[in-house]
Chains A and B, each alone.
Chain A
Amino acid sequence: QEQLQQWGAGLLKPSESLSLTCAVSGGSFSGYFWSWIRQSPEGLEWIGEINRSGSTNYNPSLKSRVTISIDTSKNQFSLKLSSVTAADTAVYHCARLRLTKIRGVITPNYFDLWGQGTLVSVSS
């Protein structure tokens, strides 16, 4: 059964760096974009994504602080968010972005597999 298992530190102080990792099991690592999405009382926010080749796309509002990396040998991908503040307190999910063919073009389409989420709290 395909699943995403994620882990990382849950309590940070302001200015520290958030670091989370997501492992892909039971399915192919190729042919998808691997994403990070966070959930707060304001809703869901897409953070960014990476493919197997290491090509990344980031949310412009977070781009200066975000790094998403991938380790294909371990079928894992990771999120690093630097200089966190209380505003970064959220549940962070890893997710798989499925690509589909639309009018003959391979197109990123929807998030079809999600991790359970990791609560990250930022407090002094």
Chain B
Amino acid sequence: QSALTQPASVSGSPGQSITISCTGTSSDVGSYDLVSWYQHHPGKAPKVIFYEVSKRPSGVSIRFSGSKSGNTASLTISGLQAEDEADYYCCSYAGGATWVFGGGTKVTVL
């Protein structure tokens, strides 16, 4: 059970769009649609922003979108805002009642 692979950092200017990839294997991301994404502002509790790949909990901005293709899930933030600066983590069910997370991506708004 290896961690999902995310880019360490992604940056963009206000108003731009950025995409964070989350690459797993055919045993986790590729086999299940139980992919979720979490936003973490340091010092605060992480917050779920997507579940089941692309379902957005109430209160999450529509500027965020989620998708999956094969073994890779993606999170896109459109119209980047200063408040989006945070760490983002993906998570996937990995079978056998286990879960695997990604290494996290630090989003910087330039």
Contacts and interface: CB of A to CB of B under 8 A. Distances in A.
Contact of A44 (B45, B89, B98): B89
Pick the most buried of A46, A98, A110, A116: most chain B CB atoms within 10 A of its CB: A110
B3 interface: yes
B100 A46 contact: yes
A115 B40 CA distance: 12
Interface of B: 1, 3, 6, 34, 36, 38, 44-48, 51-52, 57, 89, 91, 93, 97-104
Interface of A: 4, 37, 42-46, 49, 57, 59-61, 93, 95, 98, 100, 102, 107-117
16 contacts: A37-B101, A43-B6, A44-B91, A46-B98, A61-B1, A93-B45, A93-B46, A95-B46, A98-B51, A100-B52, A108-B93, A110-B36, A110-B51, A111-B36, A112-B48, A114-B47
Q: Nearest 8 pairs between A and B by C-beta?
A: A43-B103, A44-B101, A110-B51, A57-B97, A110-B36, A114-B45, A46-B99, A43-B104
Contacts, number: 68
B102 A43 contact: yes
Contacts of A109: 34, 36, 51-52
Nearest to B6: A43
A42 B8 CA distance: 10
Contacts of A113: 45
Given A43-B6, A110-B34, 13 more contacts: A42-B3, A43-B89, A44-B91, A45-B101, A46-B91, A57-B97, A95-B46, A108-B93, A110-B36, A110-B52, A112-B57, A114-B47, A116-B44
